[in-house]
Amino acid sequence: MDTLEAIKSRRSARAWEPGSVPSDIVRELLTAAFYAPSTSNQQPWHVVVVDDRDVLSRAAALNPFGLMAAKAPMGLLVCLDKDLERFPGTGIQDCAAATQNILLAAHALGLGAVWTGIHPDPSRVESFSALFGLPKDVTPVSFVLLGYSAQEPRPFDRARWGRVHVNHW
């Protein structure tokens, strides 16, 4: 799928057909994450691939905005390893760029995905860290839920030309 088309037609998916995501597709999604830009090219991320139904159900119970995890074919938990940050505080943006790459790659590959936010909510950060056994210096940033979408949400006009300024606010 063309890049600009992917950017403009991507929507969040929150309901999926049953059935797992093939492993070669998962590999493409992970590759997309790894190819995101990062501060000083430190790539300060780890990804937990989640396809265990029990783990997905337990994750759903930890996030009121992520209940659909219980029915998602899989999840990708993007985590920041603070030990890999050369400049503290920059890694969250790096992980967000990696997450966006996953969403676009998923859409281009015919999947439907949704970004559920973990960081900076303290309760979610703590409970997800415990569920996935994350080391002390690792922070869960985003949990992308995905599979083959059961819906086909239509793109809508998101342009906000009133928020564009030229050379000065």
Helix axes 122-132, 53-60, angle to 10 degrees: 160
Buried b or exposed e, range 89-106, using 16+ CB within 10 angstroms: eebbebbbbbbbbbbbbb
Q: Of 13, 14, 16, 43, which one interacts with its own copies (CB under 8 A)?
A: 43
What mask, x for binding its own copies by CB under 8 A, covers residues 58 to 77?
--------------------
- 129-158 residues in contact with its own copies (CB under 8 A) are 132-135, 138, 141-142, 158
Query: What is the rounded distance in angstroms from the CA atom of residue 30 to the CA atom of residue 44?
Result: 14
CB contact at 8 A, 116 and 144: yes
Q: Does 108 bind its own copies (CB under 8 A)?
A: yes
The minimum distance between CB 5 and its own copies, in angstroms, equals: 8
Identity of the amino acid at 63: N
Query: What is the rounded distance in angstroms from the CA atom of residue 166 to the CA atom of residue 169?
Result: 7
Residues that bind its own copies (CB under 8 A): 1-4, 6-8, 10, 12, 28, 30-32, 34-37, 39, 43, 45-52, 55, 81, 87, 89-90, 92-97, 99-101, 103-105, 107-109, 115, 117, 119-121, 132-135, 138, 141-142, 158-161, 163-169
